[in-house]
A and B are shown apart, each in its own frame.
Chain A
């Protein structure tokens, strides 16, 4: 098939065929990551700027490694070292970066829709690495790749997503992607963390976590963002862990071979008990490994898609 997306702004814009094609491409890139020399010349001479207005180690490093394994020149710009702290607008920052002629800008921003805004104003490709509470497409794609790799399919699986649904861009992107690929998505979380009307996007909503994970093939736990809304939306972490934490007891409600996933970093003892986080059903490190392959696929495909746009 032909990939015709110049930008990757969200899973919402991707069809089932697009997602399948990205996952197949990522699957092929995984082979490179297992080689002794983990580098191919595919994007030689291309420049990728990782523009991160929010703190991130995992995603930024993953994109940086992905770019370098494809022989692109990757440059990291973080908010603290950019002119944003001097009061420059997002558009000015982007225009200045664009004047340096990058081929791709990978951007993370605290404002939902920031990537979309930028994509309309610059000529190069934009890849969303997380925008506010909107989308985190590469995370959802690596989650889907991990599920497909372990289960052989996505269609027909029961996937429970547990935690702060309202503020989770990971949950939103996964909800779009998994339902599009034919999975049944169940959402569970405290009432303060469940957006009203989310079931209109095709999910089943539960307030009792145990009901949501009963018979689930995948249990995806979300991170409680202690640095943001944790203090105002939760009485105590201990109470959250009691009602919405995954441990060896409630995990038994899920299918016997259920996968345990988490986008990281894990608050041990809150979302996951250490025993579950390190247990045989946990695929958290596979998610990290697949992240590089998925990001390589995205970088490769958006540049190829440029001409066809």
Chain B
């Protein structure tokens, strides 16, 4: 059984709000870069880049981060596929806005932060997520949230993207 949490316009509105919040928090676009976590976060980061360009007239640098090699569960996983990290700009002194679709235990974000630190020395790392579903296992807190959705551990959050990598809807699914 699935419940739709956000439809396409809903995701759009959430991203527009997050875009404004990022600009407000950072007082503009100076030294701000967007990095999306593959896969899901990278598509949302690209949409945030577009939104910010529309609002501020500045296109922020956009990078993609694959955190597979920083995960802490090798040996218990069966899916071993890894993707490429593509960050074509230096991170030193930048205010990095890390973007992901769903925030859950916080382990993905921990891996992403470790990975970023190996790539450079950002001035700050901020976290933007479309959905915060709770159940944190690490002391990690998002700075920008599309929607808070209290869930049980028996539920899943699925974000569906179309072939153009635009989010179609976000669903809550009972396992």
Contact = CB atoms under 8 A, between A and B. Distances in A.
A27 interface: yes
Interface stretch (A39-47, A73-81, A106-114, A191-199): A39-47
Max chain A Cβ within 10 angstroms of own Cβ: one of B76, B81, B82, B85? B82
Interface stretch (B20-28, B66-74, B131-139): B66-74
Contact of B69 (A27, A40, A303): A40
B118 interface: yes
Contacts of A40: 69-70, 115, 118
A40 B71 CA distance: 10
Contacts of A28: 66, 68, 82-84
B71 to A, nearest CB: 8
Interface string A1-41: 11100000000000000000100110111011001010111
A308 B84 contact: no
Contacts of A206: none
Given A40-B70, A42-B74, A307-B78, A31 B119 contact: no
Contact of B80 (A3, A32, A35): A3
Contacts of A25: 80-82
Nearest to A32: B69
Contact of A41 (B66, B69, B75, B81): B69
B88 to A, nearest CB: 11
Contact of A305 (B68, B71, B80, B119): B80
B175 interface: no
B152 interface: no
Interface in B25-83: 66, 68-71, 74-83
Contacts of B66: 28
Contact of A304 (B77, B83, B84): B77
B7 interface: no
A2 B70 contact: no
A35 B90 CA distance: 11
Interface string A279-309: 0000000000000000000001101111110
Contacts of A43: 74
B114 interface: yes
Contact of A31 (B70, B81, B84): B84
Max chain B Cβ within 10 angstroms of own Cβ: one of A1, A25, A32, A40? A40
B110 to A, nearest CB: 11
Interface in B91-121: 114-115, 118-119
B122 to A, nearest CB: 14
Contact of B74 (A27, A29, A35, A304): A304
A251 B79 CA distance: 43
A86 to B, nearest CB: 35
Contacts of B119: 35, 37
B78 A2 contact: yes
15 contacts: A3-B80, A27-B84, A28-B84, A29-B82, A35-B119, A40-B115, A41-B70, A42-B69, A42-B71, A43-B74, A70-B69, A300-B80, A304-B74, A304-B77, A305-B80
Please give me the 6 A-B residue pairs with the lowest Cβ-Cβ distance, nearest first.
A304-B80, A40-B69, A42-B69, A28-B82, A2-B78, A28-B84
Interface of B: 66, 68-71, 74-86, 114-115, 118-119
